[in-house]
């Protein structure tokens, strides 16, 4: 028998496939079932096939197209049942789970891998629409009636150049075969990269059953997938119409599988589980974690506690009719330059199990949420996922939040609270999940905090965005002799020793501990914890404080939810299934610290959350209403043009200081409620 260069003759390959199905009755039964239901594909484990014929399995890795075609011929020759609708396409053979040696990172794919069978992992970054594509076309020669089939493999539609009878020129197109096709862009997963590497991308081509509505959900932007396929080259057509000497690479996909994309990627062995369990029983667990979270940064104990609880997170709860409440805790650090915010963010992005780091000017709204971009391959629009979607079930650190424009930060509102990104652009309507925790850092309005001005006035961020953060910490850099001496000694010793300062718990252990806790722990609120939170909330609201017309709002329902989330995170850290009173106290302590730092109204000494969310405190609001009342009264007495001095005098009688009244008049002018027809007078609009 003549043996070809391939090593195995085609007839042998076909026979080998037929034997494989006969020996493995499970596959035979599945094949019959698939055909009966009109599903034209069968999944085969590579290991099973390699056991049956190792030589042919090796050849499959080298020449996948020929070997898979031989398998299809073998299936065509079998006596298979007809499908329910009697329209049966050729059955596709899908090979899954290739050996480790065939798994390549996208960055290592080179020209030598062309036409080889490989496996690639990554995150779907971009996805085009499904469009039909021609696979073969049949032409008829007008002279002799000969029928010429032409395979369409390139991006350009090919026609026959001449017929057997010698005729050249135009041929009549009889029929063409179309299959559904789609292109996606696969990007390397962040956990597979070293440090600040730029993730590489690869175009992936899917067709036939791989784009069916059932499998379409697997390849949504942001999902992590493993694909098996053949690397092909695609000619690049220049603007002049000619062909470039450079080629593009694309993977013609054979099989797609979704990888469970959460903390299960972190492998934890039995020994480490025992270590984690032992650590969870330590009475000083919280203090040890706080000390290990960023040991190279001095102080900031409350912030470190908050960041630790943020990484553990609360529970995501699904309610009736699709309403859900988020479990992610968002934290905002606002502080003076050089106070160590960025170092904290960098450290957290290194310790958290799945994290991405983005910075102010380098991030746009579309880059954070999602964008619609032109797809070159199938000439349409494609959806591209941004950082918040790609880090689904993980953490995103956003540095320099104040340097982003208002349009870009407004794109984050929905992602922070509803935990989804809705896109409705260029004929694409989509909703992407982004159950992502956000840790953001920003500078105050004028670069540094003014020690004599109220902190909330110096936060230059939209109120709607601020209210979505559960905890807001001011990081102030104020001179203090004893603290400065300790800080200086701490930093200088770090430089002197020139070693990496590590805490009691190693960062890898922290990562594994968090992953284990998130997978295995879903704490429930106990009555004592519930009562503790309720008591604090009611006390803070203080509904019976005096009879002021306008009362300050010290705490809202959003902070109540934040308390629940922080309590759950504290219980999760102890690997406990119950949220105890102590967990609730930890949460209350943190929330109260933040409210005191940012929400204190200096005029009344009470906590007033409106200071943060709207920039106007309740006492100011009462002043505004008094001045407005005075203006209305005076208008009836003196006519349209009202002297400003009269307003200030009347407001003074009602208890509003002269400076405050002057400031309110200016504020009303800026808001457009009043205008100055001439100097010293104002009129209502």
pLDDT digits (tens, 9 = 90+) for 154-201: 667 888 888 878 788 888 888 888 888 888 889 887 767 665 567 888
Residue 16 parent element (H or E): helix 10-23
Q: Mean pLDDT: which of 418-432, 572-586, 605-619 is highest?
A: 572-586
> For residue 236, what are its two tokens?
């690049």
Going by their DSSP bridges, the two strands 117-128 and 224-237 should be labelled as antiparallel
pLDDT score at 230:
93
pLDDT score at 547:
47
pLDDT over 50 (residue 6):
no
pLDDT score at 2:
39
How far is residue 617's CA from residue 671's CA, in Å, rounded to a whole number? 16
> For residue 468, what are its two tokens?
């979505």
Q: Helix and strand tally (H, E) in the chain?
A: 24, 25
Q: Which residue has the tokens 């800080």?
A: 487
Which CATH class, in words, describes the domain spanning 101-261?
mainly beta
Q: Which residue has the tokens 């100011």?
A: 620
Residue 528 parent element (H or E): helix 527-541
Give whole-number Cα distances, 520 to 264, 266, 290, 457, in Å.
11, 13, 22, 43
* Phi, psi for 293 (deg, rounded to 5): -70, -40
Q: What is the CATH number of domain 270-518?
A: 3.40.50.300
pLDDT score at 459:
75
Grade residue 120 by pLDDT with cuts at 50, 70 and 90.
Answer: very high
pLDDT over 80 (residue 265):
no
pLDDT score at 86:
52
Q: Is the dihedral of CA 467, 443, 621, 604 positive or negative?
A: positive
For 155-167, b where at least 16 C-beta lie within 10 A, e where not — what string? beeeebeebeeee
Rounded to the nearest integer, the mean pLDDT of the chain is: 81
How far is residue 634's CA from residue 649's CA, in Å, rounded to a whole number? 11
Q: Where are the beta strands (DSSP E) in 208-348?
A: 224-237, 243-258, 317-318, 324-325, 331-335
Grade residue 456 by pLDDT with cuts at 50, 70 and 90.
Answer: low
Residue 215 CA from chain centroid, whole number: 21
311 C-beta neighbours (distance < 10 Å), count = 26
Nearest to 562 by CA among 543, 589, 541: 589
CATH level 3 topology of 618-684: Arc Repressor Mutant, subunit A (1.10.10)
pLDDT score at 1:
37
CB 84 within 8 A of CB 37: yes
Give the tens place of pLDDT for each residue, 561-573.
Answer: 889 999 999 998 8
pLDDT score at 149:
83
pLDDT score at 409:
80
pLDDT score at 3:
40
pLDDT over 60 (residue 604):
yes
What is the domain partition of the chain in residue ranges? Answer: 10-97, 101-261, 270-518, 618-684
Grade residue 610 by pLDDT with cuts at 50, 70 and 90.
Answer: low
CATH level 3 topology of 10-97: mini-chromosome maintenance (MCM) complex, chain A, domain 1 (3.30.1640)
Q: Which residue has the tokens 């020669």?
A: 141
pLDDT score at 608:
65
pLDDT score at 117:
92
């Amino acid at each position: 028998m003549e043996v070809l260069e391939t090593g195995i003759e085609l007839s042998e390959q076909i026979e080998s496939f037929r034997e494989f199905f006969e020996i493995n009755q499970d596959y035979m039964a599945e094949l019959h079932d698939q055909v009966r239901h009109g599903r034209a594909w069968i999944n085969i484990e590579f290991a099973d096939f390699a056991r049956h014929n190792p030589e042919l399995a090796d050849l499959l890795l080298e020449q996948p197209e020929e070997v898979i075609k031989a398998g299809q011929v073998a299936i065509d020759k079998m006596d298979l049942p007809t499908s329910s609708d009697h329209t049966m396409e050729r059955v596709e053979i899908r090979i899954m789970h290739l050996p480790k040696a065939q798994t390549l990172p996208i960055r290592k794919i080179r020209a030598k891998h062309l036409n080889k069978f490989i496996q690639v992992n990554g995150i779907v970054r971009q996805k085009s629409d499904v469009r039909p594509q021609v696979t073969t076309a049949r032409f008829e020669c007008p002279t002799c009636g000969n029928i010429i089939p032409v395979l369409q493999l390139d991006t350009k539609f090919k026609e026959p150049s001449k017929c057997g009878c010698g005729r050249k020129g135009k041929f009549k197109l009889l029929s063409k075969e179309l299959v559904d096709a789609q292109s996606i862009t696969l990007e390397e997963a962040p956990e597979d990269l070293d440090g600040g590497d730029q993730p590489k991308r690869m175009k992936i081509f899917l067709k036939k059953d791989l784009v069916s509505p059932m499998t379409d959900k697997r390849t949504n932007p942001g999902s992590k997938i493993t694909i098996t396929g053949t690397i092909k080259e695609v000619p690049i057509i220049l603007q002049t119409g000619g062909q470039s000497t450079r080629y593009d690479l694309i993977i013609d996909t054979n099989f797609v599988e979704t990888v469970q994309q959460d903390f299960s990627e972190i492998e934890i062995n039995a020994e480490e589980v025992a270590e984690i369990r032992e650590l969870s029983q330590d009475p000083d667990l919280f203090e040890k974690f706080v000390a290990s979270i960023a040991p190279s940064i001095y102080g900031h104990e409350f912030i470190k506690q908050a960041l630790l609880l943020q990484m553990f997170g609360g529970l995501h709860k699904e309610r009736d009719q699709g309403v859900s409440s988020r479990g992610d805790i968002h934290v905002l650090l606002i502080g003076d330059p050089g106070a160590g915010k960025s170092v904290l963010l960098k450290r957290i992005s290194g310790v958290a199990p799945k994290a991405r780091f983005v910075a102010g000017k380098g991030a746009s709204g579309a880059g954070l949420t999602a964008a619609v971009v032109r797809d070159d391959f199938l000439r349409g629009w494609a959806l591209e996922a941004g950082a918040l979607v790609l880090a689904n079930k993980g953490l995103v650190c956003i540095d320099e939040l104040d340097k982003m424009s208002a349009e870009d930060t407004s794109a984050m509102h929905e992602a922070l609270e509803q935990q989804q990104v809705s896109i409705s652009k260029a004929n694409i309507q989509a909703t992407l999940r982004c159950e992502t925790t956000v840790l953001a850092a920003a500078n105050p309005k004028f670069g540094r905090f003014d020690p004599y001005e109220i902190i909330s006035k110096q936060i230059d961020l939209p109120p709607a965005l601020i209210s979505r953060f559960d905890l807001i910490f001011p990081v102030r850099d104020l001179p203090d002799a004893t603290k400065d001496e300790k800080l200086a000694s701490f930093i200088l010793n770090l430089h002197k020793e020139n070693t990496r300062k590590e805490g009691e718990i190693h960062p890898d252990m922290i990562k594994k501990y968090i992953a284990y806790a998130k997978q295995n722990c879903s704490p429930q609120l106990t009555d004592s914890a519930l009562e503790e939170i309720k008591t604090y909330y009611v006390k803070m609201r203080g509904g019976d404080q005096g009879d002021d017309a306008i009362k300050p709002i010290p705490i809202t329902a959003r902070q109540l939810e934040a308390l629940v989330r922080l309590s759950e995170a504290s219980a999760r850290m102890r690997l406990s299934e119950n949220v105890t009173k102590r967990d609730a106290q930890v949460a209350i302590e943190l929330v109260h610290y933040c409210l005191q730092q940012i929400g204190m109204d200096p005029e009344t000494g009470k906590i007033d959350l409106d200071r943060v969310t709207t920039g106007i405190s309740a006492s100011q609001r009462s002043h505004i209403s008094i001045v407005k009342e005075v203006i209305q009264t005076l208008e009836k007495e003196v006519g349209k043009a009202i002297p400003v001095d009269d307003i200030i005098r009347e407001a003074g009688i009602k208890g509003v200081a002269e400076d405050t009244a002057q400031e309110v008049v200016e504020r009303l002018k800026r808001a457009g409620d009043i205008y100055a027809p001439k100097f010293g007078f104002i009129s209502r609009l």
